[in-house]
Amino acid sequence: MKRRFHRGRDVRRACSIDELRAMARRRVPNFAFEYVEGGAEDEHSLRRNREDFDGAAFLPRTLVDVGTCRQAVTLWGAEAASPFMIGPTGFNGMLAHEADLALARAARAAGVPFVLSHVSTTPLERVVAEAGGRVWMQLYPFRDREVARRLVARAAAAGCEALVVTTDCPRFGNREWDKRNYRAPMKLDARNMLDVLRHPRWVLDVLVPHGVPRFGNLDDVLPPGQNSARNAAAFLSRQMDPSLSWRDIGWLRGIWPGRLVLKGIMVPEDARRAEDHGADGIVLSNHGGRQLDGAASAFSMLPEVAAALRPDTVLLIDGGFRRGADIVKAVAFGAHAVMLGRATLYGVAAGGQAGAERALTILREEVDRVLGLLGCPDIAALDQRYLRRGAPAASGPAKVQAAMAGAG
């Protein structure tokens, strides 16, 4: 009998993130799924983010008491129940009604932080007030610095724990497969309009009676009556700032009172400069393969960057994480925690808050199982001795072995 994923709607039946992905693909229209799924240009970076995990193989210990395995980690003195969090993703309301709130509530229930996107469809004040938990705020440093100043002030007033500044978007990445779904900016072509009609559950949840989602954190910077998704998208394209520099990071450090995290760091030199400019943490990231095609994976650079940082700097990472085994490998190579992007978006797209909670449950259970099979009862004891770098990849590409062999 041919293997296949569960074909129903009950997210509790999903056994893996890939199975939630299949459910999400059936529930949401093609254009919405492509927005989540796709990468830049030929998608080399997108594929590399997954392939490079195969270049590290586990070295399990045996005859170790693993009756109870501890996976909690400490970030700036506060405990997170698992070595992951939900990272910032924009325009989530396109996947499910009030998806930002659903994701934040799922994170709170799992005891892990949630990072709200600057371009979320729910205002940050509502997320903090209604979801609770550890909420961090992501910022795009737009060309108009007053926009940044306003958001920083709002995040501080709301009580956000950390400000996560995305540094790798001086220009938009060229996401060709996403563009092909539109005949004009934010106007679907005929094929995709017909496809929307084939997804009545999504239509009733997202469009009726709520209408096209709007960018909840941009209402105070867009002209009155001009806060539609189309106008907001045009505003965002004008606000990308190619002149962004370390000088601007110093300015943000001066106006933000909380923890400062720089997202989009990829090399040790930039990691050290981030520390010198007052960053409390960094996110090793190639933006999920959605910006510069041909970039190295964050995972391949992890050991080298980890070795360059001070012990008190929180090192986070994203890009391609689909299994608890991927998360455990990242922690063994020096990451404090992983930021999840597509993994939890598949969950919320498949089933709202219940789907997001199922995604986090799957990963938590996988981390626990991997720690037990690895013979490591406490994640704090993980290090590179539990991994073999340069191990033959499952698919056998020489480039994966070379990337891991040169990772430090």
Give the total number of structural domains in the chain.
Answer: 1
DSSP classification of residue 54: G
Give me the domain span that covers residue 283: 11-176+237-405
**In the predicted structure, residue 400 carries a pLDDT above the cut 90:** no
Q: What is the pLDDT of residue 398?
A: 40
Q: Mean pLDDT score of the chain, rounded to an integer? A: 92
Q: Shortest CA distance to 250 belongs to which of 275, 277, 281, 269? A: 277
pTM for the full predicted model: 0.93
Domain membership flag for residue 164? yes
Task: Name the residue type at position 216.
Answer: G
Which of 67-71, 104-108, 171-175, 364-368 is predicted least confidently? 171-175
**CB distance 97 to 69 below 8 Å:** no
Distances (CA, A) of 337 to 113, 283, 304: 10, 10, 16
277 catalytic per annotation = no
Predicted confidence (pLDDT) per residue in 110-127, tens digit: 999 999 999 999 999 999
**What is the rounded distance in angstroms from the CA atom of residue 36 to the CA atom of residue 38?**
6
Q: Which two tokens stand for residue 337?
A: 């925690």
Q: Is residue 146 part of a domain?
A: yes
Rounded-to-integer distance, Cα 94 and Cα 249, Å: 31
Closest to 62 measured CA to CA, from 402, 338, 386, 311: 386
With respect to residue 253, please indicate whether it lies within any of the assigned structural domains.
yes
Q: What is the pLDDT of residues 133-146, one digit of tens each?
A: 999 999 999 888 88
**Residue 368 belongs to some domain of the structure:** yes
Q: Are strands 187-188 and 182-184 parallel, antiparallel or unpaired?
A: antiparallel
Average pLDDT value for residue range 216-220 = 83
Tokens read off for 389? 């770098």
> 9-38: per-residue pLDDT in tens?
999 999 999 999 999 999 999 999 999 999
What is the pLDDT, as a whole number, of residue 394? 47
Q: Annotated catalytic residue: which of 97, 118, 287, 336?
A: 287
Confidence (pLDDT) at 225: 66
What was the pLDDT predicted at 149?
94
At residue 94, does pLDDT exceed 50? yes
- The whole-angstrom distance between residue 369's C-alpha and the CA centroid of its chain comes to 23
Res 328 pLDDT > 90: yes
Flag whether pLDDT at 378 surpasses 50: yes
Mean pLDDT of 211-234: 77
Would you state the structure tokens that stand for residue 362, as one six-digit string? Answer: 């799957």
Residue, of 368 and 186, whose pLDDT is higher: 368
Residue 39: inside a domain, yes or no?
A: yes
Q: Which residues contact 42 (CB under 8 A, 6 or more apart)?
A: 293
Q: What pLDDT is stored for residue 391 in this prediction?
A: 53
Q: Provide the pairing of β-strand 162-166 with 182-184.
A: unpaired
Residue 93: DSSP 8-state = G
| Tokens standing for residue 171 | 């220009």
The pLDDT confidence band at residue 295, using thresholds 50, 70 and 90, is: very high
Q: Say whether pLDDT at 289 is over 50.
A: yes
- Residue-level pLDDT at 226: 66
- CATH, residue 38: 3.20.20.70
Q: Is residue 210, in this structure, part of any structural domain at all?
A: no
Q: Is the pLDDT of residue 55 over 60?
A: yes
Average the pLDDT over 294-305 and give the result: 98
* 200 is a domain residue: no
